[in-house]
Structure 1
Amino acid sequence: MIVAIPLTLLAGLSVMNILAAGHYFLTLLAAPFVWLPPAISRYSLPSSMLKKEWPPLFDGPLEAISVRDFWSHRWHALFRRTFLINGGVPGLAVGGYLGGLINSIFPLARENASMRRTGMRFGGVIGVFFVSGVMHDLGAWGVGKGTEFRSITGYFLLQGVAVVLEEALGLTGVGKPKAKADKASNSEPTANGNGVVTHEMENYRSPSGLYHYFMGLWSFVWVVLPATFMLDAWLRRGVTCVIIVPHSLSPARALIRVWNDFAYTS
């Protein structure tokens, strides 16, 4: 476990940098179309809109001070709509039904009008993380060595439990922006649709440095430690050996070949 933790952390940072590099590369390819005059490009935008339309994917994941903060504001949200529609919406329905069922069975629960809403919130969160886990599990299945639901999908279900637990403990405000859309702030947007409100989030529910440190440790324990089992499952199934870009099409390898031909050809 001592060795697995830094390896898992490095793997997560590698994934973050790979996705960010791909995002920046596509930005370099597509952004010029918005710089052209409107008469030439239908996608032309004023210069003041460029940063808003081409934001970074991540917002300092290592600075997360709650599990909700990590997944809602810090990590990328490329599949947010997919997860919400295919997991969150059905989860809301199932959770609301179960909450209403509890109200009808237990007399004491009838006095609690929020039981149905609580079930909907719980079901929505778990549904989103369940679909996320299944998608990552299918990625492992695509390698051809099967899946491991317990380690991969189970990890994301555990993240949903952590988010619900934070809400139950009253920690939902940690890392939550003061204003959902603060137009007057100078913060830059991120690709997950949230403004970079790092300073606001640090001061919102962290009256002391000790509390901030505790919440950072809390997030690390929930996000990184269980990820060691997911990474182990991926490694055993060869997910990390997948070649995404064929060697013949790799720009880096092409540059290395050119350099070798130039430097070592007599």
Structure 2
Amino acid sequence: MGLSVWQDIYIGGYYAFRTLVPLPHHRTPWARNNAYWAILPFIPLVFMAYLVRRRDTFVMRLLLLPATICLLVHAAHGFYWPDPLVETRNWAQSCMCAYLISKALECALTPNGRLKIGETKLPPIGGEKDTHTPSSPTTKHRASNPTIYPPAVNDAFELLFACRGYGWDFGQDVHVPQEFRPLERSAFLRATWMTIVKNFILMDFLESCVKLIPEASHPFGGSIFLPLPPVQRYVVSTTLHIMSGTAIITGFEIVYGVSTLIGVGLLHQSPLLWPPPVESPFSSDSLTVFWAKRWHQFLRRMFVVYGGYPAFWLGSWISEEIAKVLMVFGVFTASGLFHEFSTYTPGRGLDMRTTWFFVWQAVAVLGERVWYKVTGRKVQGWIGLIWVYFSIMVLGQPCINAWYRRGFGSSIVIPTSVSPIRNLLWPILRRVHPIFEILP
């Protein structure tokens, strides 16, 4: 008896999916002979970014979308770093894949193309920007010397990596953190470099300290909840949770700082396009302020594309108010799924507590809105500060622990060969007092 049509479709679809996303034990280790896969997906992606800045290209972008997504998915999930001590590289490539797919979707599904602030129309294919089009306010501090790249290439890369959308039509409502660096180009670059150095040392210290706790940094899965009496256990877990959150912020600062040096130093972009990544997140006195202003907004647009727009569309069939509520849930659910499925690459299963943490954040943010409508008072002050710390520092611990169980506590972010803490501070402390002899 032959297979039915639906069975044929299912089997064919399964094999097609597993061609792009092999099972963990079927993936290929990264090597020199397959390194081209790290670059190959950018060819159609950059071309799409170019087309979205040209009018009458909607159909072309739609046709490019399937191939672009397939190349990105296979590059991220068909290859891996086999060393468990560099697990963060697998995580990083999954995160980058999800981000670039969201950019591909946005490029393909924006019928009229993408405009910068001040623009009213796009040039045709092969044409350049109309010289009479008003310039964006962000060009005020742009360097006068041109780059070696054609304007179209600059535009394409600027769009792809405009995470927060400053200077673009889709980023007009995004909060801009207060700038602490001078806007003069040379001074701005020096201040950025110093920020990178300070965050590098802090990240190295935090990572080195976590590696001193074997139960948390086991290469095949640890935990922030050590086998201790309850009080000591939660003191340690809270400390590790805070250290991990701080390490995440410093990691963003380092990567963003290097990107800033490239954007402003090499591509001669305006410093106004590169404000600080965060704005004193630990001083937030409400979750609304924390997520909408104080925490980084790099992935905000991605979550809106993946969850916000679809949820709003579904809710709009009922009412606009329901659509807005569902949009909040959609954004946070997309965030939770992103943070969870980006850990699939190590091949150690899924732990949906990460997703539930972010869904709870949607409930809490909407709860703050209800509180304001009922009482007429916003969540703020010292009560709001305690509320934020409880939601992030206490309820967020299972989320961090889920990552530690996948072996992220053991992953080496800063190699030992360039670690000032492990090469300088630890040897000095071992000479100072015998108590420090346990240091590696």
TM > 0.5: yes
- Provide closer, same or farther for how the CA distance between residues 94 and 224 of structure 1 changes in structure 2, counting only shifts above 3 A: farther
What SS is found at the alignment partner of 1:25? Answer: helix
Give the distance between the partners of 1:17 and 1:229, measured in 2 at CA.
Answer: 21
1:68 to 285, 288, 296: 288
Query: Which string of whole-angstrom CA distances, capped at 9 and with x for unpartnered residues, describes residues 218-254 of structure 1?
Result: 1111222111011111111112333456x49x7548x
Residue matched to 1:137: 340
Residue matched to 2:243: 10
What SS is found at the alignment partner of 1:240? Answer: coil
Give the distance between the partners of 1:9 and 1:71, measured in 2 at CA.
Answer: 17
Matches within 5 A, 1:172-251: 212-243=381-412, 247=415, 251=418
Please tell me the residue identity of whatever aligns with 1:238. G
- 2:371–2:378: 8 Å Cα contact kept in structure 1? no
What's the CA shift for 1:118? 2.5
Matches within 5 A, 1:1-266: 1-33=234-266, 43-44=267-268, 49-50=270-271, 52-97=272-317, 100=318, 116-149=319-352, 151-170=353-372, 212-243=381-412, 247=415, 251-252=418-419
**Higher Rg of the two aligned structures:** 2
What's the CA shift for 1:92? 0.8
- Provide closer, same or farther for how the CA distance between residues 167 and 205 of structure 1 changes in structure 2, counting only shifts above 3 A: closer
- 1:143–1:239: 8 Å Cα contact kept in structure 2? no
- 1:159–1:223: 8 Å Cα contact kept in structure 2? no
Please tell me the residue identity of whatever aligns with 2:244. A
Please tell me the residue identity of whatever aligns with 1:5. T
Please tell me the residue identity of whatever aligns with 2:316. G
Task: Using CA pairs under 8 Å that are at least 6 residues apart, name the structure with larger relative contact order, 1 or 2.
Answer: 1
Q: Which runs of 5+ in 1 are unaligned?
A: 34-42, 101-115, 175-203, 261-266
Give the distance between the partners of 1:44 and 1:22, measured in 2 at CA.
Answer: 18
What's the CA shift for 1:76? 0.8
What's the CA shift for 1:157? 0.5
What's the CA shift for 1:166? 0.7
Query: Which string of whole-angstrom CA distances, capped at 9 and with x for unpartnered residues, describes residues 33-88 of structure 1?
Result: 3xxxxxxxxx546xxx52x2221101001011111111110111111111111110
- 2:307–2:327: 8 Å Cα contact kept in structure 1? yes
Query: Which string of whole-angstrom CA distances, capped at 9 and with x for unpartnered residues, describes residues 186-232 of structure 1?
Result: xxxxxxxxxxxxxxxxxx968xxxx5111111111122211101111
- 2:372–2:378: 8 Å Cα contact kept in structure 1? no
Please tell me the residue identity of whatever aligns with 1:95. G
- 1:91–1:124: 8 Å Cα contact kept in structure 2? yes
- State the identity %: 24
- In the superposition, the TM-score normalised over structure 2's length comes to 0.39
- Provide closer, same or farther for how the CA distance between residues 44 and 22 of structure 1 changes in structure 2, counting only shifts above 3 A: closer
Give the distance between the partners of 2:419 and 2:402, measured in 1 at CA.
Answer: 29
Please tell me the residue identity of whatever aligns with 2:389. F
Give the distance between the partners of 1:147 and 1:132, measured in 2 at CA.
Answer: 15
- 2:315–2:322: 8 Å Cα contact kept in structure 1? yes
Give the distance between the partners of 1:154 and 1:2, measured in 2 at CA.
Answer: 23
- 1:143–1:242: 8 Å Cα contact kept in structure 2? no
What SS is found at the alignment partner of 2:390? Answer: helix
Give the distance between the partners of 1:171 and 1:73, measured in 2 at CA.
Answer: 21
What SS is found at the alignment partner of 2:351? Answer: coil
Please tell me the residue identity of whatever aligns with 1:32. G
- Provide closer, same or farther for how the CA distance between residues 30 and 163 of structure 1 changes in structure 2, counting only shifts above 3 A: same
- 1:137–1:152: 8 Å Cα contact kept in structure 2? yes
Give the distance between the partners of 2:345 and 2:268, measured in 1 at CA.
Answer: 39
Q: Which runs of 5+ in 2 are unaligned?
A: 1-233, 428-440
Please tell me the residue identity of whatever aligns with 2:326. G
- Provide closer, same or farther for how the CA distance between residues 130 and 62 of structure 1 changes in structure 2, counting only shifts above 3 A: same
Residue matched to 1:37: none
Give the distance between the partners of 2:282 and 2:323, measured in 1 at CA.
Answer: 30
Please tell me the residue identity of whatever aligns with 1:135. F
Query: Which string of whole-angstrom CA distances, capped at 9 and with x for unpartnered residues, describes residues 118-172 of structure 1?
Result: 21121000100111111110122222211111x1101110111111111111189
